[in-house]
Amino acid sequence: MDKKTLLNTREVAHFLDINEKVVYNLIAEKGLPATKVTGKWLFPGHLVEQWLENQTINYPKVGSPLPPYHGLLIIIGSNDILLDRTISLFNRLYPEHEAVFGNVGSQGGLKALGRGLCHIASSHLLQENEEEYNFDFVLEELKGELPAVVNFCKREQGLLVAKGNPKAINSVSDLGQPGIKIANRPVGTGTRLLLERELQKAGLKGTQIEGYEREFRSHLDVGIEMLAGRSDAGLAIKPVSNLLGLDFISLRWERYDLLISKDRFFEQGVQLFLGLLHEPSFRELAQGLEGYDLGLCGKMVFPQQSKRNNEE
C-alpha cells in the first residue's frame, strides 16, 4: 500500500473485512492508527498495514533459518545509542567479524528471534505488573521457550522538552493540553508501549494529542524534531537530552536486555559480543552519556514475576 494512502472509515472496514462500527472499537481498544485532524476519521494506509502485522500472533516457520555462524552477527530490535556505539566498537576490535543492526522495535526483535532471523534481539518491553521486562512477551512469542536473557543496561526514559521547558510540560498528562505537539515512536517499540501505559494512567487517548500519529524511528530522531522546534515533547531516553541540550522529565528507569536463542548462545560472534560488555573499552563508551546504569550489564537475568512463575 502506498505510504501516502489515506483510507476513510468505509475503506478501512473493507480492507480489514469488518463492519464499520467495529472500526471505532478498534481505534479505542486496540490502537488502530487513525487521525481526526480534518474532522473525520482518516487512516494512514501504511500504518494500518503495520498495525495489522503487529497483531499477528502466529508466523509460519521460515524455510531457511540462520546458517551456522560465519562471521556476520545479526542484532535486531530496540534502538539504543550505547548499543549503536558498541556495535561500532565490536566491528573495530574484531575486523574478521561484522555486526549489523536492524531497528524494528522491541516487538519486532522478538518476532525476528522467534523466526530464526537474528542471533540477538534487543528489547525493553514493560510487563503488566510494571516491575518486570520482556519475559512474558518472549514466552508468548516463542510459545513458552525462554531464551537466554543478558542485560545490556538500565536506562532512564522520560519526556524530552525544549531547553527551559517553555511550554511548562511537567508530566504525560500535560500532553493533552491545547497547543502541545509531540513526536511519537512506532507501534511495536518499547517506548511506544510505555507512552500508551502512561497515557492510560492520565486518562488520555493518543488521538487527542497533536502529533501522535507522527512516528520517528529512533530516540535521536525524536530529539532532532524537538531541537528543530517541530515538536514540543517526545518520549525518549535521557542520553538524547544530554547530546542535544534538551531538558528531560524522568518517568522511570527501565531494563534493556539482549535475548539469545539457546542454540545460538555459544556461537563465536555472540560470545565475542557478550564478552565485550565486560571490557573497559566498552565501559568508556558510556562515559558522558548520563542516563545509563551498567550495574547489571553483561549478567544473566531471570524472570521474577512472569506468567510462568505465576502459573507454578
Confidence of residue 305 (pLDDT cuts 50, 70, 90): very low
CATH number of 157-253: 3.40.190.10
DSSP 242-296: HHHT-EEEEEEEEEEEEEE-TTTTTSHHHHHHHHHTTSHHHHHHTTT-TTEE-TT
Instruction: Give the domain ranges of the chain.
Output: 6-54, 72-155+255-311, 157-253
Q: Which of 18-27, 53-62, 82-91 is most confident? A: 82-91
pLDDT at 84: 97
Whether 186 contacts 50, CB under 8 Å? yes
pLDDT at 66: 82
Confidence of residue 101 (pLDDT cuts 50, 70, 90): very high
User: Which of 154, 146, 131, 117 is closest to 257 using CA atoms?
Assistant: 154
pLDDT at 312: 41
What is d(CA 271, CA 35) in angstroms, rounded to the nearest whole number?
A: 46
Confidence of residue 57 (pLDDT cuts 50, 70, 90): low
Whether 157 contacts 191, CB under 8 Å? yes
Q: Measured on CA atoms in the order 91, 122, 110, 192, is the torsion positive or negative?
A: negative
Q: What separation in angstroms does the CA of 230 have from each of 144, 169, 177?
A: 43, 16, 17
pLDDT at 46: 83
Q: Say whether 157-253 and 72-155+255-311 share the same fold.
A: yes
Assign domain 72-155+255-311 to its CATH superfamily.
Periplasmic binding protein-like II (3.40.190.10)
